[in-house]
Amino acid sequence: MTPALPATTTAIWTRLMRASTRIQDAVETALKAEGLPPLSWYDALWEIEKAATGIRPLALQDRLLLPQYGLSRLVDRMVKAGLVERLACDSDGRGQVLLLTDAGRAVRAKMWPIYASVLQAEIGALPQDVAAALVQGLGLLAGSDLTPEQG
């Protein structure tokens, strides 16, 4: 047993883990059923698409909470699939700029309704006061970063 943690703390942690795993699984299952790429691709495609003039890999790492090599390999796959382009960076010879291809935009747009419908089903049904409290509480746990809009 060892040093006890307040029951509320452990309850938050276990439920946080269960909730995120459960909903993530539901999204992945729905995307796979439609023959679409996994959730991790969506997040990357969307961040690149929002940055209309392209985005630096480093910036993407921060937003996606991925290690450097993780992003490198993810981008590899998306480039191979024809969804993303790597361009040399003018202002910094070491770096690059990532851009979406038309195919990338199309796939992102196809994924969104599937993704959104799962979120609606899993999260959208919460009572308003509970939802508002979650936004506040999860905001504190999520840390300083702002929450970007989806869709």
Residues that bind DNA (CB under 7 A): 32, 40, 56-58, 66-77, 86, 89, 92-96
Non-local CB neighbours of 69 within 8 Å, separated by 6+ positions: none
Q: Does 106 bind a copy of itself (CB under 8 A)?
A: no
Q: Which is nearer to DNA, 5 or 88 (CB)?
A: 88
First to last CA, the chain: 45
Q: Which is nearer to DNA, 67 or 148 (CB)?
A: 67
Q: Which of 35, 52, 91, 136 binds a copy of itself (CB under 8 A)?
A: 136
* Residue 96, phi then psi, degrees to nearest 5: -145, 175
Which of the listed partners (DNA, a copy of itself, none) does 34 bind, with a CB threshold of 5 to 8 Å by partner kind? none
Q: What is the chain's percent helix, strand, coil content, to nearest 5? A: 65, 5, 30
**CA count, 13 A, side-chain hemisphere, 5:** 7
* Interface ranges with a copy of itself (CB under 8 A): 1-25, 65, 109, 112-113, 116, 119-120, 122-124, 126, 128, 130-143, 145, 147-151
